[in-house]
A = this chain, B = another copy of it.
Amino acid sequence: MREITLNRANRIINAAFAEGKKRELKPLAVVVLDAGGHVKAVQRQDGASMLRFEVASGKAYGALALGVGSRWLHNQAAERPHFLEGLSGVSGDRVVPVPGGVLVRDGRGALLGAVGISGDSSDNDEACAIAGIEVAGFTPQAE
C-alpha cells in the first residue's frame, strides 16, 4: 500500500479528535495530505478559529517538503531562521514551521503523506497527530 485511502484518512482524523478529547484540548483542525502535498481529508471542529485549516496544512506541507516532521523545521529556527524564510518563499508561502506536522509512513518506511493539526499548543497538536497515525495503523515521524 503506497497511499492513504480515504477510509484510513478519516480514521486518522477521528483518532486524533479522540486524543484531543482525552487530553481536554481546544477545538482542533486536522488535515491529511497525500505524499504529493494535496488535500485528502480535513475536519475542523466546532469552535476552532478561522485559519486553523491553513495553519494545519502548513505544518503538514512543511513536513513533506523536506521529508521530516515539522518539529525538525521548528528546531532550525534558533540558528537558521533565514533558511525557514527561504523555504517558505520557494514553497509559495505554504509552510508553517512549528510542531504538529507529522509524516505518515507504512511499515517499511515508505512515505504515504502527512498529518497536520492546529488548535491547541503545538506540542499537544503534535501528540494528537501521532496518536491518530498510530491508531490508524501507520508509523508517525514527528521530527
Q: Which of A's residues lie within 8 Å of B, judged by CB?
A: 2-3, 5-6, 9-10, 29, 34-46, 48-55, 57-58, 62, 64-68, 73-74, 77, 80-98, 111
Contacts and interface: CB of A to CB of B under 8 A. Distances in A.
Nearest to A26: B67
Given A82-B77, A85-B85, A93-B92, A39 B36 contact: no
Interface centre among A74, A81, A96 (most CB of B within 10 A): A96
A64 B80 contact: no
Given A5-B46, A50-B64, A86-B98, 14 more contacts: A3-B46, A6-B46, A9-B43, A39-B42, A39-B44, A39-B53, A40-B44, A49-B66, A51-B66, A55-B90, A62-B86, A77-B81, A81-B81, A83-B96
B51 A38 contact: yes
Contact of A84 (B51, B54, B82, B92): B82
Given A88-B89, A96-B90, A53 B82 contact: no
